Structure 1
């Protein structure tokens, strides 16, 4: 507390002297601080008295200090930037050459125990400003109206759906941080069944809440002698139903999360009435919800209403069970998609390899073909015997001088 007072006194002093800039930033933002000297001058930056880095203006060399800020700080000229602000980055940034200080406060908004709450539970809204304990803030309700108190922590008692919505912490005109508060309750519906059916009595939360479920039970006015199971939360088994009598009521034996249904066996007209589901949360908060069961005669020649057995309920409960932060059905879907993708890749590889083999085979067959010869081109693929017969049938040409001699010898009066 004494340290906070000293910091507040130094802050007031440096603001009064005019050598101090004050920044209010939220987690993840970036802050930019100016030293106010010539960029060619030597510059030394410190954070809460611990050296960040020194810059030699003439040589441009830098020497890093032991402060954790140096791991992400960006220095350009006389400007120092610190990105991705965290709560531990809140404090005093000092440039020795100009004597100028920069006070950085990190603002964060959150809900305790969490933003998703059950009805009638208590909640705390925090607007935390690191390093500035006396700063007043203004809270705005989900409907935009101002909250009466200007405290950084406000307490909400027995929350209802009226408190659900976006709450805003107004630190400055240009800095507004919001958090959404969700208020949920148990859900159920009226149930109609035919005589002899197994019917499911619904009781569930719309989503997971931050309050831990520590117990619960079912109660039925018309079935006071029936032994219903009770909710139990143990370190070894987690949240589960605890019961042994399955003659009239069936329930899942697996770990529960947000579904607290049970199955009523072989319903009769005497089972009609109101059934009450009660769930107890950590902190003494209890929620109850009523469902009405109406039993009718089976229509003649039909099978009556659709039965909802305990087994599908157990399957649904298993599929909605969370494994490493995700529901089981999501893991199953991702696994099936991965198998399908791998099979498709293998099929594509097989087709590509098959096409390559076929192309190689075609090239090999083309290279093995008999090339055409000159004889084939000239004789038009005729047989050699036909060509020889034509050559024999054709008479040999007579020399010109022999033809002239025959002409003179065989005149008109020539006789043999």
Structure 2
């Protein structure tokens, strides 16, 4: 009976301890709960902070708005689509009273200036682990040959050698477990520097004929401006002048044609001058001349008196 009780206690402790998940920034992390289904309630917490709570009977959901949208509930599991260093820590699932812890460790390994190093150059390897408890837990680099380098998050290579090429292991421990993250380093030979030939050497080589039996024409003395010889510029200028003259001729001709059309329409639509009118002449005596105005009419002179007959 005691054996069964101890076995159940061990299973409960293992389920409560959960698992440790290692991820690099930008990767996806999924935390599993202790059960696949629940009846009463499901609750996810990060440390002591509530992330989401679901009532199994009513389906009512409570979610803390301060957590990012990349935290999503998939059944009873919690999923982070894009891991960041701030997401490192403990994620606790409680379903129908059963508890399970999941620890997220975010590991970043890098080489500066890059993972492809030049032979004889300087480089720095760096390993950062977020979520360790205590935070100052030792982090150690192992060389490609398996030998330890130093108990430090940073390795300074003063002069890169071919022996530095290979997979470097960043190792650390957490709650009794050993974990590591690898970084592949490549070493390349330096590119040889090419020196430009001196002007004197180049001029001497240019003066020597490359083909002794071949005829080398003398260098051209034409004046070249913007890649064109002088005669090509003359041809271009003459062509432009001809085009300008043609344009002027066409403009003058069009104006003359319009002027002639305007005169033609004006003559066609203008009024013709009237001919002098001819009046009929009647044969009738001319009217008596009107007395001149301004003169007094003279009284007729009195007739002489005739003698009375006896």
**TM-score, normalised by the number of residues in structure 2:** 0.50
Q: Work out which structure has the larger RCO, using CA pairs closer than 8 Å and 6 or more positions apart in sequence.
A: 2
Larger Rg: 2
